Amino acid sequence: MSDRSTRRRRLVILISGGGSNLQSFMDACAEGSLNAEIAAVISNKVSAKGLERAANAGIPNIVLDHTEFPSRGEFDAALGDIIDSFSPDLVILAGFMRILTPPFVNRFLGRLMNIHPSLLPKYPGLHTHQRAIDAGDKKAGATVHFVTAELDGGPAIVQAEVPIFKKDTAEILAARVLEYEHHIYPLAAQWFCEGRLELDDGDVLLDNELLPEGGVCVEIRQKR
């Protein structure tokens, strides 16, 4: 076995809010399904509840307030320096509500992941669940993807599909999707930590095989 598959990898997780996806990473690390340690949690908002989750778990947590910087680029440069100070193998965006500049993305290209609450390439941006309902879609879901300079446009790693029911509101659908975000995001990170997953010139390879546009697709069957 290679060092990459046996050594615990170091993660830095970026948040802006409650940190439910952060919690899924903390749980996966604790139970051993994710062979990694969370080196730091960084938020651009002092009010982010996820900071309390990190503090309660003894994880270094840092606030870098974007409003204190004159430009997006200067904030991203400072953020990148803090991230690098923890020497992470992988950077996880977990509800980090900032559009990142190309220099930042390129700095961590191939080791920067995000999760988006739609079946990309459908519905990049905001209000994804309402847009899926309004379109009459039969299914919704979430996509873990590598981050590139294109907003929500990085190549997909894994998706989870969930049904849309007739009585669903955006809030009900969001809660259903979120449950499966908590499964697929640590799973994608584990593939990376095992050395099985990589971004190669814009393509995603898993076990040296090219993944399709939507990545690995997991269909979830749920009761109404």
Task: Output the pLDDT for position 219.
Answer: 67
* pLDDT number for residue 2: 45
pLDDT (0 to 100) of residue 7: 85
Residues marked as catalytic:
116
Residues contacting residue 137 through CB under 8 Å, at least 6 positions apart: 122, 164
Residue 175 carries which side chain, given as an amino acid letter? A
Per-residue pLDDT of the chain (224 residues; tens, 9 = 90+): 345 557 899 999 999 999 999 999 999 999 999 999 999 999 999 999 999 999 999 999 999 999 999 999 999 999 999 999 999 999 999 999 999 999 999 999 999 999 999 999 999 999 999 999 999 999 999 999 999 998 889 999 999 999 999 999 999 999 999 999 999 999 999 999 999 999 999 999 999 999 999 999 986 665 44
C-beta of residue 22 within 8 angstroms of C-beta of residue 91: no
Strand partners, 112: 91
Instruction: Delineate the domains of the chain, giving CATH numbers in brackets.
Output: 1-108 (3.40.50.170), 115-224 (3.40.50.170)
How far is residue 139's CA from residue 127's CA, in Å, rounded to a whole number?
15
